[in-house]
Amino acid sequence: MRFYAQQHPFYCGIDLHARSMYVCILNQEGEVVAHRNLPAEPEPFLEIIQRYRDDIVVAVECVFTWYWLADLCEREHVPFVLGHALYMKAIHGAKVKNDRVDARKIAGLLRAGMLPQAYVYPAPMRATRDLLRRRNYLTRKRADLLAHIQNTNSQCNLPEFGKKIAYKIHRESVAHQFVDPDVRRSIETDLELIDHLDRLTCNLERFILRNARDHDPNALYLLRTVHGIGPVLSLVILYEIHDIDRFPRVQDFASYARLVKCAKESAGKRHGTSGKKIGNAHLKWAFSEAAVLFLRGNPEGMKLKKRLEKKHGKSKALSILAHKLGRAVYFMLKRKQAFDMKKFLAC
């Protein structure tokens, strides 16, 4: 957990919403110099901080509306801090909670050097990252539709399809298997949606691949040297990381990617783990997917998996492999070196 500890004469805490924001400005003594509810627009915000902008820092909780405010502060050369929503217990655990109180607490945490920081993702790559997340969302919806077809087939107690219906060539006669016209129409709807999602996803991938190379082609090349990491998966990993130098240690990166569990300990006793939802869920998915793809057509990878299964069991083997891949990617990007299978298997 990182805290913003830099000192300023004035501290601005904002409880931000889609159409409004409550602004609280404190001085170094902790006195409130401004406390007002404003529309979520640039002009009112710049007007209220005008008297204090020589040395003021602005903080807001990490909600979905923070993009425009971060970009505005960057253009106006005003320091901006993004508060980590899951760590800000002083706000969420309060007895009295409203916009006025929340803005005051954000400013107070900032002044005390106790505001937990989230990463302010830079604007030039942000839209592409969000587009990749949208592509993954569409892919999950496609998987839900395929699962619905399989479940409906089981409900009707019909024979198995025999082939993977994820491929279009194997889906041509799927609907004809169902006798009931309503059930058949439901399946046909699923198949039409799958075909449409396939076209959308394909077009999105072409667009992303065409525009993403401008950001860091060398890092993309390095990621593609890992067995099983293809064009889309390498883009997801690259854009979710953005800059590997923001992680001083490999442990920090593994924790951010949710590849390790955090122990809860007190008085020398261990009380399980915590923090499963703190970190980047998209990186967790990417490395879990990479671990599965790493084994395809890779005899050396299968041998490593069998060794891990003997030592840790089947349930943990893939998780450990994903962790190893995450560590390998970290050092590859840090040292700007391609993936070395011999080194990876020797670790």
What's residue 163's pLDDT? 87
Tell me the pLDDT tens digit for each residue of 26-80.
999 999 999 999 999 999 999 999 999 889 999 999 989 999 999 999 999 999 9
Decide: 298 and 228 in contact? Cβ < 8 Å. Answer: yes
What's residue 87's pLDDT? 83
Looking at the fold, whether 45 and 105 belong to one and the same domain comes out as yes
Question: At which of 82, 102, 118 does a domain end?
Answer: 118
Query: Count of domains in the chain?
Result: 3
Looking at the fold, whether 230 and 313 belong to one and the same domain comes out as yes
Tell me the pLDDT tens digit for each residue of 285-311.
999 999 999 999 999 999 999 999 999
What's residue 220's pLDDT? 87
Minimum mean pLDDT range among 167-176, 209-218, 332-341: 209-218
- What band does 209 get if pLDDT is binned at 50, 70 and 90? confident
Minimum mean pLDDT range among 30-44, 62-76, 92-106, 241-255: 92-106
Looking at the fold, whether 26 and 84 belong to one and the same domain comes out as yes
What's residue 214's pLDDT? 65
Query: Please, what is the angle between helix 217-224 and helix 231-241, to 10°?
Result: 130
Decide: 9 and 28 in contact? Cβ < 8 Å. Answer: yes
Rounded to an integer, the average pLDDT of 214-239 is: 89
Looking at the fold, whether 227 and 341 belong to one and the same domain comes out as yes
What's residue 269's pLDDT? 77
Write the CATH number for 43. Answer: 3.30.420.40
3 state SS for the chain: CCEECCCCCEEEEEEECCCEEEEEEEECCCCEEEEEEEECCHHHHHHHHHHHHHHEEEEEECCCCCHHHHHHHHHCCCCEEEECHHHCHHHHCCCCCCHHHHHHHHHHHHHCCCEEEECCCCHHHHHHHHHHHHHHHHHHHHHHHHHHHHHHHHHCCCCCCCCCCCCHHHCCCCHHHCCCHHHHHHHHHHHHHHHHHHHHHHHHHHHHHHHHCCCCHHHHHHHHCCCCCCHHHHHHHHHHHCCHHHCCCHHHHHHHCCCCCEEEEECCEEEEEECCCCCCHHHHHHHHHHHHHHHCCCHHHHHHHHHHHHHHCHHHHHHHHHHHHHHHHHHHHHHCCCCCHHHHHHC
Looking at the fold, whether 239 and 206 belong to one and the same domain comes out as no
- What band does 91 get if pLDDT is binned at 50, 70 and 90? low
Q: For the chain, what percent of residues have pLDDT higher than 70? A: 98
Say which residues have a Cβ less than 8 Å from residue 121's Cβ, sequence separation at least 6. 129, 242
Question: At which of 167, 190, 215 does a domain end?
Answer: 215
What's residue 213's pLDDT? 64
Looking at the fold, whether 244 and 293 belong to one and the same domain comes out as yes
Question: At which of 118, 140, 157 does a domain end?
Answer: 118
- What band does 97 get if pLDDT is binned at 50, 70 and 90? confident
Rounded to an integer, the average pLDDT of 103-119 is: 92
What's residue 278's pLDDT? 83
Rounded to an integer, the average pLDDT of 181-205 is: 94
Minimum mean pLDDT range among 38-42, 98-102, 223-227: 98-102
Decide: 92 and 86 in contact? Cβ < 8 Å. Answer: no
Alpha-carbon gap, residue 273 to 317, rounded angstroms: 19
Looking at the fold, whether 205 and 226 belong to one and the same domain comes out as no
- What band does 94 get if pLDDT is binned at 50, 70 and 90? low
- Indicate whether 183 pLDDT > 90: yes
Looking at the fold, whether 135 and 92 belong to one and the same domain comes out as no
What's residue 45's pLDDT? 96
What's residue 265's pLDDT? 75
Looking at the fold, whether 23 and 86 belong to one and the same domain comes out as yes
Alpha-carbon gap, residue 333 to 331, rounded angstroms: 5
Rounded to an integer, the average pLDDT of 305-319 is: 90
Looking at the fold, whether 20 and 104 belong to one and the same domain comes out as yes
Predicted TM-score (pTM) of the model is: 0.85
- The closest of 241, 226, 225, 216 to 322, measured between CA atoms, is 226
Range(s) of the domain holding residue 74: 3-118
Looking at the fold, whether 174 and 272 belong to one and the same domain comes out as no
What's residue 276's pLDDT? 74
Looking at the fold, whether 53 and 95 belong to one and the same domain comes out as yes
- The closest of 320, 323, 334 to 249, measured between CA atoms, is 334
